[in-house]
Structure 1
Amino acid sequence: MQYLISAIDPIKNSGGNKAKKDIDFFASQLNDTRVIHVKIYYTRLQRYLLTRLSIIKLVKTHPADRYILQFPISTPYVLRQFIEVIQKYTNAKVDLFIHDLPALQLSMDDKERELVLFNQVDNLIVHNQAMKKWLVDNGVQTNMIELGLFDYDNEQPMQKKQEYDPANFTICFPGNLAKSTFLTKVNLSHQLNIYGPNKLDSYPESIRYCGQYTPEELPKHLTEDFGLIWDGNSIETCSGTFGEYLKYNNPHKTSLYLSTGIPVIIWDQAALAPLIKESGVGICISSLTELDSVLLSLTNEQYQLMKRKAEKLGQKLRKGYYTKHALTKLNMDE
């Protein structure tokens, strides 16, 4: 028996973001896996007084062979308490299912402390080969399993069209618009529809703001022909902290697009670019300045094939293929 432990944010009163909720959902479909939601205390005083006691109670009331923590989980202190308690009071394995790497993503000063914790667990589920290499290069020796893609529980029907006109292809881009400063520099002949919070007062003419929706509602509003994976402050390349992070992570919006049957446009230096290219589910570009010409060069037949492949891969994401495979492989690797 193994337990997947997910933190509940007391401020949002939820089980976490869409990615973590979907891991919970698909993990619970495995016969040997149970999901536990734990409260993560918000104030520093509560964390220091109550966290360890809560974890001790958890492992005593829910004995298991393995505990899998969705990471990040609150603060490094909370993670350290989980590791220490599980290793002190049980003989169980303790693993981390990594959603983000704050030390890499935000260039945190306490990178070393985070990496030390990674070396104290038994296994890491990481996004891809690039993330695994970065961790190894930075001294992490723990066994790692590559996820491949994040799954996406999507109950909305896949969008269907019969004919496509390359001159009128539309593109979608949902996300936190405050950090997507490249949008202010986009100059496309194709329409780019953006979704999400923190929109700016004005955007270039080719961009249309389409509102903000929950992750569950958003797919039914995405009727565009492509989904864009880009970040940073430049249209020439993905630059800055957020742009560079694409070299190592699996952006969750990739799974949103594919689970909706939408082919992907991605930076050719992104960690997911090889998968997108080899699977035939999208196109890779080095700069947004070349996007118009690349789209115009596509034939209707080429796009139809790309879309069929995106739909096929999207069906796997809707069924939790990658989550279940990674969690099952934890036991096979021992």
Structure 2
Amino acid sequence: MSYFNIQSINNTAGGKAFAASKPIADTIKTLSTLGSIDMGSIDSLPNLLGRKVISYGSLANYFKQVGSGDTIFVQYPLYISYPAFLQVVYYLRFVKRCKLVFIIHDVNSLRIDPTVGLGGMGHTNNTQRSLRNELRILKLASGILVPTDAMRKFIENTNKVSAKVIVFGLYEHLADSLDVPTFKNQRTMIFAGNLDKSSFLSKLNHSTFHYEIYGNEPSMFTLPENLDYRGSFPSDELSAQFSGGFGLVWDGSSVDGISGVMGAYLRYNSPFKASMFLASGIPVVVWKNAAIADFVSQHRLGITVNSLAEAESAIKQITDEQYAELTASVRSFGLQLRQGAQFKKALEDVLTFA
């Protein structure tokens, strides 16, 4: 039996420095330790009806090296049309008779506001219909890897899947160096990411707390002058800019909790920026209702709060000794993320069932 990996490229980031490609690149690197063959991006495979469907000949040619009983790891979602995605899955499952293991990075119908636009498989302007389409695909899996227990429960309870659903925890953040930095206590919150999707920053104009901001300058609003904007850096250079404090894992438009589509999605997913901060030795600030909040608290990886005002107050009260204890836990866990330990264990588990 052989292992293969398929993926597609999410172009919604617009080529910005904070690309969403590292989580996929890291999982591919870990899969290669199993001998998995990376088949690359299938974005160019749809070739009929305005690139909405795939000819049978193209499918057969693309997957000609795949044999019956082989295992295909699918980096989910694939950013091709829903009909094309269904074709790929049906061909591999029923023609090639392969086992399909989905590695869930996002369930787009849960995270994208249909009024803004839904890009990707299963997406219509009706959120429930889009979700049904996505779940229809997931139901064909032999095994599913998800980042949180909340997402596991959602998929199992909503979809009645027969596949084993395994939780891998926070996304791995592989690094050549296994030396996780040590930082001193600083009353700082670091935020890095897509600033246009982070309009809560505009509400911090009266805050006296030190916020360190990284990312492309937002086009939808102006950053308040009291925020310390440091510019944009490629993901592999970003952590070198940090000098201590806490990494802020926040989304949406409110500083008093998280609401709307993004708030709802944080109840299911594991934001990759949390892994980035922890692998860099930085403890995190997480919304109390986020899917990763209990994990952060139990493993002493940061603090969980209801609002940014609460976070500011809590950080001001943390002593140097308490911060040193926090960062010791963070460095230990960050080393696991750099080695991909959690994900490797989840892979071993899912392959015993798939």
- Unaligned 5+ runs, structure 2: 114-126
TM-score, normalised to structure 2's length? 0.85
| 1:193 partner SS | strand
Superposed displacement of residue 127, structure 1: 1.5
Pair 1:87-2:93 in alignment: yes
Where does residue 338 of structure 2 map in the other structure?
318
Report runs of 4+ in structure 1 exceeding 6 Å deviation: 9-12
Structure-1 separation of matches of 2:249 and 2:48 = 37
Where does residue 4 of structure 2 map in the other structure?
3
Structure-1 separation of matches of 2:155 and 2:203 = 34
Pair 1:71-2:76 in alignment: yes
Where does residue 196 of structure 1 map in the other structure?
215
Where does residue 194 of structure 2 map in the other structure?
176
1:257–1:77 Cα change, 3 Å: same
| 2:197 partner SS | coil
TM-score, normalised to structure 1's length? 0.90
Q: Deviations over 1:275-306 (max 9, x none)?
A: 10011110111111112220122111111011
Pair 1:34-2:37 in alignment: yes
Where does residue 22 of structure 1 map in the other structure?
26
Pair 1:110-2:130 in alignment: yes
Which amino acid letter does the alignment assign opposite residue 190 of structure 2?
A: C
Q: Deviations over 1:175-223 (max 9, x none)?
A: 1101101111124333111111242563335411111111111121122
Residues paired across the two proteins, number: 327
Which amino acid letter does the alignment assign opposite residue 189 of structure 2?
A: I
Structure-2 separation of matches of 1:329 and 1:223 = 37
Q: Deviations over 1:13-61 (max 9, x none)?
A: xx9712111111122123x423221331277646346464333223321
Identify the range of structure 1 (240-249 vs 44-53) with the bigger mean alpha-carbon deviation.
44-53
Pair 1:185-2:190 in alignment: no
| 1:296 partner SS | helix
Identify the range of structure 1 (180-189 vs 233-242) with the bigger mean alpha-carbon deviation.
180-189
| 2:196 partner SS | coil
Superposed displacement of residue 8, structure 1: 4.7
Which amino acid letter does the alignment assign opposite residue 150 of structure 1?
A: Y
Superposed displacement of residue 80, structure 1: 0.7
Which amino acid letter does the alignment assign opposite residue 81 of structure 1?
A: Q
Where does residue 97 of structure 1 map in the other structure?
103
- Unaligned 5+ runs, structure 1: none
Identify the range of structure 1 (145-154 vs 274-283) with the bigger mean alpha-carbon deviation.
145-154
Contact 2:279–2:333 (CA under 8 A) maintained in structure 1: yes
1:54–1:9 Cα change, 3 Å: farther
Structure-1 separation of matches of 2:268 and 2:195 = 21
Structure-to-structure mapping, 1:1-334, within 5 angstroms: 1-8=2-9, 17-30=21-34, 32-41=35-44, 45=49, 47-48=51-52, 50=54, 52-63=56-67, 65-74=70-79, 75-106=81-112, 108=127, 109-142=129-162, 143-155=164-176, 158-161=180-183, 163-164=184-185, 168-186=186-204, 187-199=206-218, 202-334=222-354
% of aligned pairs identical? 28
1:224–1:53 Cα change, 3 Å: farther
Which amino acid letter does the alignment assign opposite residue 98 of structure 2?
A: A
| 2:181 partner SS | coil
Which amino acid letter does the alignment assign opposite residue 243 of structure 2?
A: T
Structure-2 separation of matches of 1:52 and 1:16 = 31
